[in-house]
Copies of this chain bind each other. A is one copy, B any other.
Amino acid sequence: MKDVKKNEKKIECPIEKSISLIGSKWTLMIIRTLYLNKKPMHFNEILKDLNPISSKTLSSKLKELAKSEIIVRNVIPDTPVKIQYSLTEKGKDLNGMMNAMASWSLKWNI
């Protein structure tokens, strides 16, 4: 008896596992923005930086990334309450990938 649902392929390859989690344009762009900014950011700051992303897409992608524990949503008890997003240790550990992408782009004059 199969332990996976029909049409659900069990992923064994570690590269494919990473791609399934972070392999989309806006997901990578959010990680990049938080990585380069070095400090927590408000929703509107990320939104502005990723122009022309829509609020709806950004909101959905931030939720996905928080669920994957790549980013964390911090609630600052202020009036009004402030929400900030930052990379977790797991998210910060994507610096190897970010650096590899930067090096490749510079080397090949992308």
Chain A interface (Cβ < 8 Å from any Cβ of B): 7, 9, 13-21, 23-25, 28-29, 32, 35-36, 51-52, 90, 93-94, 96-108, 110
**Interchain CA distance A15-B94 in the complex, whole Å:** 12
The reply to whether A101 and B36 form a contact with Cβ atoms under 8 Å apart is no
Residue among B19, B28, B102 making CB contact with A14, cutoff 8 Å = B102
The reply to whether B105 and A14 form a contact with Cβ atoms under 8 Å apart is yes
This protein's copies in its complex: 2
Interface centre among A7, A18, A25, A103 (most CB of B within 10 A): A18
When distances are taken between beta carbons in the complex, the residues of chain B under 8 Å from A52 are 7
The reply to whether A104 and B110 form a contact with Cβ atoms under 8 Å apart is no
**Interchain CA distance A36-B35 in the complex, whole Å:** 28
The reply to whether B102 and A100 form a contact with Cβ atoms under 8 Å apart is no
